[in-house]
Amino acid sequence: MTTHENASASRDARRHQTKKSIATRNSILDATIQCFLELGYHRTTTTEIARRANVTRGAVQYYFPTTPDVLRASIDHMIDQWIETYAEELRKMPTQEKRLQGGVDIYWRFVQNPLFVAWQELQAASRTDPALRAIVKEAGKRYDQRRLELGREVYGGVAAIDDPSFSVARDLLRVALEGLSVAEFGQNKDARQQAVIDLLKRVMGRMIGGK
């Protein structure tokens, strides 16, 4: 084999190893999130993560030496997936007006996504766990910043983009839908949820578009 062929084979091997490494890392993160969803934070262990990811405990500890490491990475992994999925749906809307109205329905679906449920589980667990609370707090800041950046991207053509009302409207939408996703209804749940969503659309329209 020539020197050139050796170099080419070496590059191919490195690329293969890099792809395999990324795939293994993502499998561990996906397994961690599934554990949060199905077992809860306090019952999630390195052994269970390894079993679900089909790797050894040593492999989990190689990529994430400490519990805070895997927590930070798994939360970042969730946020990245949330934002990208949410952004893709918004970008499909043909006009700014439709994005404003459609954004309510999209975010409603978003807060019922298993990834968001896992995030809620971590938030709940963090109330009695100071170390986790610090990680969740920092992740919340990153999430909020990503949402702000996304808002400027997909709603950049809205005249009120720099108006404080726009930011307030988005915050109202967020807290209302996130709260609605966990609210208990004794009866007529679907109809009552939809009534709240329809009201939010009207309120959003008045606050942002002056309608």
pLDDT at position 7: 44
- Helices 164-182 & 96-110, crossing angle to 10 degrees? 30
For the chain, which ranges sit under pLDDT 70?
Answer: 1-17, 94-100, 156-163, 207-211
67-211 CATH, one of 1.25.40, 3.60.21, 1.10.3470, 1.10.357: 1.10.357
What DSSP element (H or E) covers 165?
helix 164-182
pLDDT digits (tens, 9 = 90+) for 172-196: 888 999 999 989 898 999 999 999 9
Q: Quick check: 52 and 31 in contact, CB under 8 A?
A: yes
CB atoms within 10 A of CB 130: 8
Q: What are phi and psi of 11, to 5 degrees?
A: -65, -40
How far apart CA 151 and CA 72 sit, in angstroms, is 24
pLDDT at position 50: 95
pTM of the predicted protein model:
0.74
How far apart CA 192 and CA 138 sit, in angstroms, is 34
How far apart CA 40 and CA 26 sit, in angstroms, is 20
Q: Quick check: 46 and 69 in contact, CB under 8 A?
A: no
pLDDT at position 57: 94
In SS3 terms, 189-207 reads as HHHHHHHHHHHHHHHHHHH
Could you tell me if residue 188 is left (phi over 0), alpha (psi between -120 and 50 degrees) or otherwise beta?
left
pLDDT at position 5: 45
Length of the chain: 211
Fold exhibited by the domain 1-65: Arc Repressor Mutant, subunit A (1.10.10)
CATH 1.10.357 in the chain: give the residue spans: 67-211
pLDDT at position 208: 64
pLDDT at position 96: 61
How far apart CA 21 and CA 133 sit, in angstroms, is 29
* Amino acid, res. 24: T
CATH 1.10.10.60 in the chain: give the residue spans: 1-65
pLDDT at position 12: 46
pLDDT at position 154: 73
Q: Quick check: 106 and 89 in contact, CB under 8 A?
A: yes
DSSP state of 209: I
Quote the tokens at residue 175.
């807290």
